[in-house]
Amino acid sequence: MIKTALITGITGQDGYYLSLLLLEKGYRVVGLLPPQRQSNIAKLGSLANQVEVYAVDLTDSAALEVAVEQTQPQEIYNLAAPSFVPDSWNDPLGTLDLITGTATRLLAAVRKAGLATRFYQASSSEMFGDVDRSPQDEQTPFRPMNPYAAAKLHAHWTMVHHRQRYGLFACSGILYNHESPRRPPQFVTRKVCLAAAAIKLGLSDTIEMGNLDAKRDWGYAGDYVEAMWRMLQADIPEDYAIGTGELHSVRELVTAAFECVGLDWTRRVMVEPKLFRADEHFQLVANPAKAKNNLKWEPQVSFEALIEKMVLKDLERLQNGTITPAALSTPK
């Protein structure tokens, strides 16, 4: 039997890698896309013709119920979110509406349809927030520190309630930062990789950076969508912290990116105190032992290989004109 997977946020970074994975496995992949965002399906490139688009307003409960009824999915991956955390301070209510509202409406639609649909909720390590321990795992208390994290936490608990109260097969992947050549340029990894490529090609001279000592647990998006899929193939629905378990500093990121293009970063990187984030006192790093034990999941792409992938792709894009150096000036 061909399985059907519904994906919200299919046009984003994870939506792309998840679609690729599911298509390779022979799934019918359906993207739930708000009508006004339908043209963004082109972001999937050659995959756009291999997935179906179902136009639906994610704020419309009745329309989502019809979407679930009509498509009869075996799996739903709820990925849609305004994912750049600083933006959530500018629109806390819109962030809550989309993240929590979509999860709640989709879970209700699954329950109403009476199907055995398995549900994946895209949770975030940002929910741990102001941590008092490192590394974090599934037992670590949540102390969210921004509207994005608070909305993700509400969606997470809503998913847990549907699992406990109604017996839905619903799981949450508490994912740490994961990157790829598809990461938008406002994220620090992409910003650095794009700048290194542009400077190499003589299209730019320097890059302004914040705190080079800030550390993150960065993995590869292609590895993380595999973890999402494995969660929905398990015998029991459970939540998982998904990360590499390694911390790397922004200084290591800059060093790795500029090494890829054979340049000395110390002459190209300008540290700008106004770019320091106020909340850099905690360290988010995963203990992915549960995923390793239960799902046999482990990251396959190293930090250095990830950065190399990203720099090489940006060199190619700048050389063939797919992007211009203007991409460097996206808000930080």
* Active-site annotation, residues: 124, 126, 148
Spatial CB neighbours of 175, under 8 Å, sequence gap ≥ 6: 122, 123, 124, 125, 224, 227, 242, 243
- Which amino acid is present at 296? K
Between 177 and 204, CB nearer to ligand NAP: 177
Between 180 and 204, CB nearer to ligand NAP: 180
Q: Does 144 bind ligand NAP (CB under 6 A)?
A: no
* Alpha helices, DSSP H, located in the chain: 13-24, 61-71, 92-96, 102-113, 147-166, 188-200, 221-233, 250-260, 289-290, 303-320
Selected range binding ligand NAP among 174-182, 198-206, 230-238, 273-281, rule: CB under 6 A = 174-182
Two tokens, residue 13: 């970074």
Strand partners, 54: 32
Cβ atoms 143, 130 nearer than 8 A: yes
Q: CA 57 → CA 18, 38, 138, 142, distances in Å?
A: 22, 11, 32, 30
Q: Does 92 bind ligand NAP (CB under 6 A)?
A: no
Interface residues for ligand NAP in 32-71 (CB under 6 A)? 34, 37, 40, 43, 58
In the complex, minimum distance from the CB of residue 318 to ligand NAP, in angstroms, rounded to a whole number: 21
| Torsion angle, alpha carbons of 76, 77, 78, 80, to 10 | -130
In the complex, minimum distance from the CB of residue 163 to ligand NAP, in angstroms, rounded to a whole number: 19
Interface residues for ligand NAP in 105-124 (CB under 6 A)? 122, 124
Q: Does 14 bind ligand NAP (CB under 6 A)?
A: yes
Q: Does 288 bind ligand NAP (CB under 6 A)?
A: no
Selected range binding ligand NAP among 9-17, 105-113, 203-211, 252-260, rule: CB under 6 A = 9-17
Cβ atoms 269, 207 nearer than 8 A: yes
Between 67 and 261, CB nearer to ligand NAP: 67
Selected range binding ligand NAP among 4-12, 159-167, 193-201, 276-284, rule: CB under 6 A = 4-12
**Residue ranges in contact with ligand NAP by CB under 6 A:** 9-15, 34, 37, 40, 43, 58, 79-83, 98, 122, 124, 175, 177-178
